[in-house]
Amino acid sequence: MNFFADTSSLRSLLVRTGFDVATRYPKHREKFPKVMGAEGRQVSTPSMDDERAAVKPRRKDHALAAESLPEVMELGEMRKRGICFGPEQWLIRIVFLETIAGVPGFSAAMIRHLQSLRLMRRDKGWIQTLLEDAQNERMHLLVALKLYRPGFFMRTMIALAQVVFTAAFSVGYMIAPRLAHRFVGVLEEEAVITYTNILRDIEAGRLPEWERFPAPAVAKDYWGLKSSATLSDVMRALRADEANHRFINHTLASIESQDFNPFAYGEARPTERGGRWGLERNEALEWFEREDAKRREAKGLMRAEGATEARPVRQDRLPVKDEAQRDTSNSSRNAV
């Protein structure tokens, strides 16, 4: 069964509904009324200068007509009627999403670590990748917390959600690790959609507060963003990370637990991980063989030249050129 083809029903059932209920997300719609005062304009945020598109000529929007919504509305009215989110609602969704998203990588890494100790066998390079995933998600949360501080109620809900989700995911991972990775892949896809929708809102004038809002210092430092970076740049960096998590988890869901992690010696190239959901098993095995051969060849050459091994590059410090440009290959990885 090809899970990459269409998981929309699974996504709706397991992930989207839960997050939507928890964060009171408006209806997932493709068409919105135009924001009054923003018709015909071009959004001009620094990060979008190269790709901004002129607003297309207005045409009859049948989807909106069917809902009896006007073609143009005041932004305040749209938010009041729950047609779109404002900044605080988006941040609540991001914070909630990231507190959950940081759990699977760490839980899976711990379970595989304990299995390696208990069963006295190799892990084959999975633990490192899973821990990097969890660390990356935690950084996403820390960036979001620079913009929004949850109150007592939300903190309580997050604590409860963490207890339930961590227990359920860990048990699930022990029983069916491949299904657990598939579920995480779907969760990551939801994160990609969330950040895409935020960028669309900014482009369409539904989030004017964020058009030129400066990126927090921690985000600039973490992703190596320019000093003039805005929240749009942060959202694009977040989306690129989520696409990477999606690619990794769908790939891990397609291989056996005793296969080598194909990303043990380096992550997928940006064009690969941004363009598809993951690798099938035969592709993943070939991928690992190729990366392993490259690594052996490089090591052999370095020995022959008497060179000392290069200092590992910290993957969380590499600058981001744009969402699909980050090369996170890491020479410190090891498939043990």
Single out the residue of 112, 181, 220, 245 in contact with Fe ion (rule: CB under 5 A). Answer: 245
CA pair distance 294, 199, nearest whole angstrom: 38
Beta-carbon contacts of residue 88 (< 8 Å; ≥ 6 apart) = 148
**Smallest separation (angstroms) from Fe ion to the CB of 179:** 18
Single out the residue of 123, 132, 188, 291 in contact with Fe ion (rule: CB under 5 A). Answer: 188
**For Fe ion, the closer CB: 78 or 237:** 237
**Smallest separation (angstroms) from Fe ion to the CB of 163:** 20
Return the exposure string of 96-119: e unless at least 16 CB atoms fall within 10 Å of the residue's CB, then b: bbbbbbbbbbbbbbbbbeebbeee
Residue 230: DSSP 8-state: B
**Residue 26 to residues 54, 82, 90, 200: CA-CA distances in angstroms?**
26, 6, 11, 15
Please, are residues 298 and 309 in contact by the beta-carbon 8 Å criterion? no
3 state DSSP class of 74:
coil
Please, are residues 257 and 178 in contact by the beta-carbon 8 Å criterion? yes
Please, are residues 224 and 304 in contact by the beta-carbon 8 Å criterion? no
Q: Does 137 bind Fe ion (CB under 5 A)?
A: yes
Please, are residues 116 and 123 in contact by the beta-carbon 8 Å criterion? yes
**Smallest separation (angstroms) from Fe ion to the CB of 137:** 5
**For Fe ion, the closer CB: 137 or 291:** 137
Q: Does 201 bind Fe ion (CB under 5 A)?
A: no
Part in contact with Fe ion (CB under 5 A); list of ranges 79-87, 159-167, 243-251, 267-275: 243-251
Q: Does 140 bind Fe ion (CB under 5 A)?
A: yes
Tokens representing residue 33 in the block = 């009324």
Q: Does 190 bind Fe ion (CB under 5 A)?
A: no
**Smallest separation (angstroms) from Fe ion to the CB of 156:** 22
Tokens representing residue 31 in the block = 């068409």
**Smallest separation (angstroms) from Fe ion to the CB of 134:** 9
Concatenate the DSSP letters of all residues of 143-209 into one string.
HHHTT----HHHHHHHHHHHHHHHHHHHHHHHH-HHHHHHHHHHHHHHHHHHHHHHHHHHHTTS-GG
Single out the residue of 91, 95, 101, 279 in contact with Fe ion (rule: CB under 5 A). Answer: 101
**For Fe ion, the closer CB: 33 or 102:** 102
**For Fe ion, the closer CB: 242 or 291:** 242
Part in contact with Fe ion (CB under 5 A); list of ranges 78-86, 217-225, 244-252, 297-305: 244-252
**Smallest separation (angstroms) from Fe ion to the CB of 250:** 12
**Smallest separation (angstroms) from Fe ion to the CB of 191:** 5
Residue 73: DSSP 8-state: E
- Region 203-222 residues binding Fe ion, contact defined as CB under 5 A: none
CA pair distance 104, 35, nearest whole angstrom: 39
Q: Does 233 bind Fe ion (CB under 5 A)?
A: no
Single out the residue of 132, 190, 233, 242 in contact with Fe ion (rule: CB under 5 A). Answer: 242
**Smallest separation (angstroms) from Fe ion to the CB of 44:** 27
Site residues for Fe ion per CB under 5 A: 98, 101, 137, 140, 188, 242, 245
